[in-house]
Every structure is written in C-alpha cells, then in structure tokens.
Amino acid sequence: MNNTIIKPKEGIILISEPSLRDFYFKQSVVLLAEHNKEGTFGIIINKPIETRLNDVLKDFPEFNAPLFLGGPVKTDNIFFIHTKENIEESLKIMDGLYWGGDIGKIKEMMDLHQIDENEIRFFAGYAGWNPNQLDQEIGEKSWVLSHTNVREVINKHPEKLWSNYLRHMGKEYAIWSNFPADPTYN
C-alpha cells in the first residue's frame, strides 16, 4: 500500500491516527463512497457490533450477517455495501463493490440464497463530512489515506483491519499498529 499523494475519492480508505479519541473514529478504517464539492460520505468498515442484522430488521429474510457501526450520522438507519453489480440504483464505489441499491432485490436474493455474508455488509449509520471538512482533518494529520480492494473491505476479520493496514504501510506506520485502544491502560 502506498499513501503518497492519495486524494480522497470513492474507493479510498481513511485510517485514523492512533491518538484520535472520538468514540466512532478511534482506530477506525473508513471506506469513502463519495467525495465532491458538496461533502464526503463513507462507512466505518472495521467495527462489527454485537447485534445481528435480523435483530434490527424484523421484516428481512433470515440472514446470518453481522451489523457494523458505520458512523455517527443516521445511526437509526441501515446502509449496505455489496459485490453484486446487477442491483439497480447501486452506487459504484470501486470495481466489484457497490453502495446501496434496490432493497427488494437484496431481500429476494437472500430468500433464494443468491447472496451471502461474504458479498454484503450492513451498517448502522454512516460517516459524513461537510465540504472541505475532511480535507481539513487530513491536513491536521487525523487520517492516513490508502488504496484498498474488495477482499480487504469485505474481510472475515474486520476488527483487525486497522492494525493490518498500518503494518503493511511500512515502518513509519507499523508502530501505530500496536497502539492500545486506550493508552491509559498501557
């Protein structure tokens, strides 16, 4: 992974620096879904929560999938990313990865077992920034930007993503990967 001169845009990830203490963004990896003059939105991809999807969405087909904390905005809403390019109304984030789309089609695919938890992720809330806000935070060194791929985004061990990305970014960042979630326990 190379972080030189990476600009925020869809498909780029933000990796929080270790001293960021915010409840949502502490040791987080955020996948950007959109970045333009009107602002930025994305989802935190490395924070699964104890609640399962069917505990929250009662009208959904039985589907054994974790729910993730996607960010501080609209936490009472469920958002999703997936690998199925044939879902109408989806927003392409990168090759092979899409945001949202026709929820009726997703339910149908679940009923027919045409999609599994390795192809879709569900999030409570999302992360959003006003115009220029993310650029300011990047300038303040709150975030390191990196490239990613679908396999890394839809990962079997999302809770390890923050430290894994940092370790693969070289010596300068590898030391961060061992930073405790709460430095007062160190």
Domain assignments of the chain as residue spans, ordered by start: 13-178
Print the SS3 string covering 73-97: EEEEEEEEEECCCCCCCCEEEECCE
Strand partners, 144: 15
Q: Are the beta carbons of 107 and 58 closer than 8 angstroms?
A: no
The rounded distance, in Å, linking the Cα atoms of 48 and 58 is 19
Phi and psi torsions of 83, nearest 5°: -105, 10
Pair 88, 79: CB distance under 8 Å: no
Query: What is the Cα 88 distance to its own chain's centre?
Result: 21
Q: At the fourth CATH level, which superfamily is domain 13-178?
A: VC0467-like (3.40.1740.10)
Q: What is the largest CA-CA distance in the chain?
A: 49
pLDDT for res 2: 46
pLDDT per position in the chain (186 positions), as tens?
Answer: 444 589 999 999 999 998 888 999 999 999 999 999 999 999 999 999 999 888 898 888 998 888 999 999 999 999 999 999 999 999 999 999 999 999 999 999 999 999 998 999 999 999 999 999 999 999 999 999 999 999 999 988 899 999 888 888 877 776 666 665 555 555
Query: For residue 89, what pLDDT is reported?
Result: 96
CA distances from 166 to 2, 160, 161, 163 (A): 11, 10, 8, 5
What pLDDT is stored for residue 104 in this prediction?
95
Q: What is the pLDDT of residue 145?
A: 95
Question: What is the bridge-based pairing of β-strands 66-69 and 120-129?
Answer: parallel
Helix (H, G, I), strand (E, B) or coil at 167: helix
